[in-house]
Amino acid sequence: MTFLLSDIAASIPAFDVHAARQARERQDRLTKPQGSLGQLEALSIQLAGITGNPLPRTDRPGIFVFAADHGVAARGVSAYPAEVTAQMVLNYARGGAVINVLAKQIGAELTVADVGVSSALPDDLIIHHRKVRLGTADWTEGPAMTREEALRAIQIGAEIFEASGADLAVIGEMGIGNTTTAAALSAALTGLAPAELIGRGTGVDDAGLARKLAAIETGLARLPKTSDPLEILSAIGGLEIAAMAGVALAAARRRVPVLLDGFISTTAGLLAAAIAPAAREYLLASHRSPEPGHTLLLRRLELTPLLDLGMRLGEGSGAALAVPLIQSALAVLRDVATFEQAGVSDRE
Ligand SMILES: Cc1cc2ncn([C@H]3O[C@H](COP(=O)(O)O)[C@@H](O)[C@H]3O)c2cc1C
Ligand SMILES: O=C(O)c1cccnc1
């Protein structure tokens, strides 16, 4: 399969305004005061436009978690050591992580892929072994990876989504240091100030926060002058962010909604929309992370999160919690009786 980003971008269908209008009209005829389900009504209408179906369903949610390491982690930008990335992949394979428990709880299929963990993982793990390279290079010193590697990671995400049959794509990640990479990447893609995008991630102290800012400023200073998203991605990384963007692009092409998680996952949504502006309409925000950059990116993407629980884990965990809300919104749209059917008097 030849894989061209321009082909993917061109093949993303437009939001179906007709299906969305039909869903809006039906919402207004259901036996409840108009607008009384608040954000859930808007959500069901948006899903109709995304799927092109006035009565959409999301019965086969898929959670796609990509793991990769970041050379920049050596700069003391995380509260945890880089080995945790590989250790957590083992935890996913054994079913012990937060996302394993939440995936099971909501009946979603969980797919975990190694796209760039910096150590060899045992081949008998029940994960996808799709390592592009052994972690990115430290982007404060040189490019994180080559353009080919960045493209390869996007392609892996797209292939894994294509093979899944999911009708709702949740994107999550594991990569120690990736709140720093996500802040650098989103600063480069948007022009937003790094100081406003950084946060404490896994819980760094003030000195750690200062190291994050210094790393990003160094990294951005050596960034080639370009607005080409693939060039920016290869300069900074990360491999898991690229793979999540690949899922988002492939899902948008199939009219499948993409449910974003926290700051890093939303950075992947931003990247997908930078590669293919039409992909933005397929993105849904699940929750708001306390990571300051998350709110800024959600605003950029014009997305309103469903939940605000103070969750700052990643792995797709906040998004998993929003899946039942989406399913409830769609069940209401499909199954609630209309005023006519129920013989209930509508407003005057
Ligand atoms: C045990 C553990 C499990 C995690 N699951 C997700 N993350 C989250 O924390 C990391 C980002 O934060 P930072 O940039 O500060 O390193 C990512 O791996 C993210 O997915 C975890 C972090 C840890 C320690
Ligand atoms: O917003 C997130 O997803 C997040 C925040 C901190 C650490 N890991 C993930």
Ligand 2 atom showing the smallest separation from residue 289 Cα: 1
User: For position 232, what pLDDT does the model report?
Assistant: 98
* pLDDT interval class at 267 (50, 70, 90): very high
Instruction: Give me the pLDDT at residue 5, please.
Output: 87
Q: Closest residue (by CA) to atom 6 of ligand 2?
A: 201
CA separation for the pair 22, 36 (Å, rounded): 18
CA separation, residue 285 to residues 61, 289, 301, 314 (Å): 15, 11, 9, 13
pTM greater than the 0.90 cutoff: yes
Place of tokens 């009565």: 55
For residues 65 and 110, the answer to whether their CB atoms sit within 8 Å is yes
SS3 263: helix
- The SS3 of residue 284 is strand
DSSP assignments along 97-113, one per residue = SHHHHHHHHHT-EEEEE
Q: Ligand 2 centre from 166 Cα, in Å?
A: 24
- Report the percentage of the chain scoring pLDDT > 90: 97
Residue 8's pLDDT band, with cuts at 50, 70 and 90, is: confident
Q: For a ligand 1 pocket test, name from 117, 171, 174 the mutation site with the most ligand atoms within 8 angstroms of its C-beta.
A: 174
| Domains of the chain as residue ranges with CATH | 2-56+332-342 (1.10.1610.10), 61-327 (3.40.50.10210)
Would you place residue 4 in the very low, low, confident or very high pLDDT band (cuts 50, 70, 90)? confident
Position 1 scores a pLDDT of: 43
Pocket test for ligand 1, best of 176, 241, 291 (most atoms within 8 A of CB): 176
315 is catalytic: yes
CA distance 317 to 322: 9
Distance CA 316, CA 142 (A): 30
Nearest CA among 175, 167, 172, 154 for reference residue 64: 172
> What is the pLDDT at residue 6?
86
Contact 92, 127 (CB under 8 A): yes
Please tell me whether the interface predicted TM-score (ipTM) of this complex is above 0.85. yes
The dihedrals phi and psi of 221, each to the nearest 5 degrees, come to -65, -30
